[in-house]
Structure 1
Amino acid sequence: MSGTSSRAPERAWSVGTASGMFPFLGCGIALLRRPLEFLRSLPAHGDLVEIRLGLQRAWVVCHPELVQRMLRDTRTFDKGGPLYDRLRALMGDGVVTCPAAEHRRQRRLVQPAFRPSRVAGHTELMAEEAESLCHGWRAGQQVGVSADMLALTTRVISRVLFSDSLDAATTAEIRRCLAVVVRGLFVRTVIPIDALFRLPTPANRRYRHAVGRVHAIVDAAIAERRRGAPRDDLLGTLLAATRGDGEEASVTDREVRDQLVSLLLTGAESTALCLTSVFSLLARHPEAERRLHAEVDAVLAGRRRPGPADLPRLVYTRSVVTETLRHWPPGWLFTRVTTRETDFAGCRLPRGSTVVYSPYLLHHDPVSFPDPDRFLPERWLPGQDAGASHGAMIPFAAGSRTCLGDTFSMAEATVSLATVAARWRLRHLPGPVEPPRPAATLGPRSLVMTCESRNRDNTSTGLPIGR
């Protein structure tokens, strides 16, 4: 095999085929109707499994070692395939979707906003927004956790990108647009038949309208900034780059928008789904919830919210977030495309082949994670091996295209969880609990829970938490 695969001794990989039930849709219907079950059925066919998506062939990588090889060989396996073809219509060629040849330059441009030193400075605004959110809750109130978490993360990322938070009406519109976009992206990925999505159906019109509104909102923010004073945020950095400041070639106006749209949508949606999943899982695992509350109470010691110095001490809180990312990873299905003919796992893949990998599938590999369906934050406490040594834990991908916001996202989820958990316990409503729903991302999308004040758990601190 070319690239990284030639540097490691080969083992006997197994290659198989999963047949589709429908001649023209292939496995797309199975992916739409029962995607998680379908994915977990594939390792029985082999380490690399051929499937059909519409009229196209694709190969699903089921073994963590093969996934690591693929992700670290960006010259052979570039971002592309049905998912990224659709994402580029939304995000353009920003840092999330750009080809490998452009990635290093673009990453260097936006990375400073997400360096650990800047993330530490952002923890105050993360905690401030989380405190503001749950300050409006009342004991016994039913709250839309999915909607509230998306509103929270949209405000946080908008402040990082644009300094000022989007107003309430704009945040609500972004939230509505995201719901339409993520569903539309998934359908377009698993059934990549372009003609279907050019039809003037209500769903197609809603999707196009949502994409257009996201672009318009970002364009308006850029135009307003050009008329105002410079600010020290990512938009300011990008606008300075359009003037060719420094040694790098100047950045185009289109690239400014592409970067902001990419970071706004990925920075809001994924972390919101992670937090929503956290609260849903904690409500079903009282021992994990108890340990979380005990740690938060000890670390905060009566303070209203955590600060940068508290992050290293919130060990179990971070473990809850990490286990949630393993259990229900928001980014659960991705595609790559081969840039040249290559031998992969003993299978000759033509140039332009679509290769699929699933963090959800790897995160539920019983070899890497014993009892994978159990929610066990203890897997990630210091001294535990978990699945890291197997390369199976990849909520933020791997290699040179590891998510540049991974440190930021972990800090945001940990700080937000600690801030809310210091005040409130969230309980599921009677009846069935909403399962995670796969679309372009994975997680509960309309979760409603009941607030329960933790006042009585904190009488010794003298702080009226939750009021």
Structure 2
Amino acid sequence: MGDLMGRMNEPPRPPGSGFAAWSRDRLALARRGADECGDVWQLEPGVCVAATAGSCDAVLRRARDFPKAPSPLFPPLNGSDGAPTAEERAHAHAARMRGLRAQAVAARIGEIAPGAALFAARWPTDRDVEVLPAARHALAEIGVRFLFSEDAPALLPYAARLFLAREVLVRPSRWEWPRWVPTPARRFRTRQQTAFTDALRPVVRRRLASGRLGDDVLGQMLRPSSRHGPLPEGAVLDTLPGITVATFEAPTRAAGWILLHLARHPGAADRVAAEAASLPADPAATTGAHLDDLRYTRALVQEVLRLYPPSWLLTRQAARRTRLADCTIQAGSTVLVCPYTAHRDAREHPEPDLFRPERWLDGPGSPADPGAFLSFGTGPHACEGAALAMAMLTLLTAHTAGRHRLSEPPGPEPAYRLTTFEGLATAGLRLRATARTPEPSRLR
């Protein structure tokens, strides 16, 4: 009787759903499932979608019931001194967070702003330009420098090849090979991961030998903790490739959507440009206080991330039979957490399909609580680099709007191709920049 009742309470399944419909148009089916079925719906037997703010938040916070799959993109190399233990991984995470928390990011804004300003300065004017490669390069320079400071220039080429290895590895394929099969993509990943590790190892050893560990994220990882002592070299080396790519991969997808919105909403871009006029003429003189003053710019970034979360779908697996939003989730079921539809939950965000940055600001006409925001996740597996990503994107937006007016290319062809397989992206996005005249005055 219990099993029968459990099956009766399984999530509803909208007509015409399934993997074939999902592969044709993921976003449309995600919206339809949320609209027709509510909090949780079933894509296929054993595959459920958490579709609203409450159900998504519950899955991400209940890590014991819905653990993250243990499948790191850059697993430990065979040549290292064994995979890091769970305790060492927890220690490495805590050490990284000392360098990535909001206070640490605010203290180093002057190291982030020059890269954002350089991206805007390098943008060719009065011709259509493919945006994402230049944005990725700029964000990679900023992110890798934040992690490794003066050692960043030597490591940046290896970081770029790590990103390429990731792109090759996650391309759609007809076959899902077991993780132990050495496919060409996995062999390529291993070669690039080995090259990055080989370049990073002498940096680690030099810093340890000299005692000058540095104030960057790597320096925080090399500092011994009072509880665990120093991290083994292997744990440092094996846990850094993933965070290195993460500093610029999802932010690049977000940057594409932000720049597109600057082009489509010139009034909002003008407000950002007005705020950017308060930034110092020397970007290296930018401080956390300057960043705090970019209130509308930050609100615009958050609103774009609400509408188009770069990681629009997160995967969890039910560790045991459990309940979610009055539905029974069977043990072993895959649960897809969908921030894209959660952010369009009208109970959380009035008029959810409208682009309205003001919803994130305090003041007349703005809600006191702007609603759930899951673009960086939540719970124990929330994005480590959320504060860094927001600082990078806010400064990139301010410097770009302060220097240029953006527009989409004329003609019937769309400016980009929407991709949803690995993340929500504006593939091939092309925009045109026209210099703002007169240039906004800068405080000196």
Within 1, Cα distance between the matches of 2:158 and 2:120?
Answer: 21
Within 1, Cα distance between the matches of 2:57 and 2:374?
Answer: 9
**Superposition pairs of residues 303-318 of structure 1, within 5 angstroms:** 306-318=286-298
Instruction: Output the amino acid matched with 1:37.
Output: A
Within 2, Cα distance between the matches of 1:397 and 1:155?
Answer: 24
Q: Which residue of 2 aligns with 1:326?
A: 306
Query: What is the TM-score when the length of structure 1 is the normalising length?
Result: 0.79
Question: For structure 1, which runs of at least 5 residues remain unmatched after alignment?
Answer: 1-12
Q: Which residue of 1 aligns with 2:126?
A: 140
Deviation for aligned residue 1:215 = 4.5
Instruction: Output the amino acid matched with 2:304.
Output: T
Quickly say closer, same or farther: Cα 1:359–1:293, change in 2 above 3 A. Answer: same
Per-residue CA deviation, residues 67-117 of structure 1 (Å, 9 max, x unaligned), is 22222222222112xxx63xx142559xxxx99988754432211101233
Structure with more contact order per residue of length (Cα contacts < 8 Å, sep ≥ 6): 2
Within 2, Cα distance between the matches of 1:103 and 1:399?
Answer: 17
**Superposition pairs of residues 412-423 of structure 1, within 5 angstroms:** 412-423=392-403
Instruction: Output the amino acid matched with 1:59.
Output: C
Q: Is the 8 A contact 2:307 2:344 kept in 1?
A: yes
Deviation for aligned residue 1:329 = 0.8
Q: Is the 8 A contact 1:147 1:175 kept in 2?
A: no
Within 2, Cα distance between the matches of 1:144 and 1:70?
Answer: 37
Quickly say closer, same or farther: Cα 1:408–1:130, change in 2 above 3 A. Answer: same
User: Aligned to 1:41, which of 25, 28, 32?
Assistant: 32
**Superposition pairs of residues 216-235 of structure 1, within 5 angstroms:** 216-227=195-206, 229=210, 230-232=212-214, 233-235=216-218
Q: Is the 8 A contact 1:145 1:276 kept in 2?
A: yes
SS at match of 1:452: strand
Q: Is the 8 A contact 2:56 2:342 kept in 1?
A: no
Q: Which residue of 1 aligns with 2:6?
A: none
Q: Is the 8 A contact 2:68 2:316 kept in 1?
A: yes
Per-residue CA deviation, residues 363-396 of structure 1 (Å, 9 max, x unaligned), is 12233323333221111111466695653x2111
Per-residue CA deviation, residues 115-168 of structure 1 (Å, 9 max, x unaligned), is 233212221111111223333334324433201111111111111222236449
Q: Is the 8 A contact 1:74 1:100 kept in 2?
A: no
SS at match of 1:348: strand
Quickly say closer, same or farther: Cα 1:250–1:101, change in 2 above 3 A. Answer: closer
SS at match of 2:422: coil
User: Aligned to 1:371, which of 331, 348, 351?
Assistant: 351
Deviation for aligned residue 1:334 = 0.4
Within 2, Cα distance between the matches of 1:37 and 1:139?
Answer: 36
How many residue pairs get matched?
422
Q: Is the 8 A contact 2:143 2:247 kept in 1?
A: yes
Quickly say closer, same or farther: Cα 1:313–1:46, change in 2 above 3 A. Answer: closer
Q: Is the 8 A contact 2:99 2:217 kept in 1?
A: yes
Q: Which residue of 1 aligns with 2:436?
A: 454
Q: Which residue of 1 aligns with 2:236?
A: 256
Q: Is the 8 A contact 1:436 1:444 kept in 2?
A: yes
Within 2, Cα distance between the matches of 1:38 and 1:219?
Answer: 45
Within 1, Cα distance between the matches of 2:319 and 2:366?
Answer: 35
Q: Which residue of 1 aligns with 2:172?
A: 187
Q: Is the 8 A contact 2:66 2:319 kept in 1?
A: yes
Q: Which residue of 2 aligns with 1:3?
A: none
Q: Which residue of 1 aligns with 2:322?
A: 342
Q: Is the 8 A contact 1:182 1:439 kept in 2?
A: no
Instruction: Output the amino acid matched with 2:184.
Output: R
Q: Is the 8 A contact 2:88 2:231 kept in 1?
A: no
Q: Is the 8 A contact 1:426 1:449 kept in 2?
A: yes
Q: Report the RMSD for the aligned CA atoms in angstroms.
A: 3.5
Within 2, Cα distance between the matches of 1:199 and 1:221?
Answer: 27
SS at match of 1:370: coil
User: Aligned to 1:31, which of 14, 22, 35?
Assistant: 22
Q: Is the 8 A contact 2:113 2:283 kept in 1?
A: no
Question: For structure 2, which runs of at least 5 residues remain unmatched after alignment?
Answer: 1-8, 78-83
Within 1, Cα distance between the matches of 2:33 and 2:368?
Answer: 20
Q: Is the 8 A contact 2:376 2:386 kept in 1?
A: yes
Instruction: Output the amino acid matched with 1:38.
Output: L
Comparing 404-413 with 171-180, greater Cα deviation is found at: 171-180
Please state if 1:164 is matched with 2:150. yes
Deviation for aligned residue 1:324 = 0.9
Query: What is the TM-score when the length of structure 2 is the normalising length?
Result: 0.82
Quickly say closer, same or farther: Cα 1:366–1:187, change in 2 above 3 A. Answer: farther
Quickly say closer, same or farther: Cα 1:379–1:192, change in 2 above 3 A. Answer: farther
Q: Which residue of 1 aligns with 2:102?
A: 116
Within 2, Cα distance between the matches of 1:234 and 1:186?
Answer: 30
Q: Is the 8 A contact 1:50 1:59 kept in 2?
A: yes
Q: Is the 8 A contact 2:308 2:424 kept in 1?
A: yes
User: Aligned to 1:50, which of 14, 32, 42?
Assistant: 42
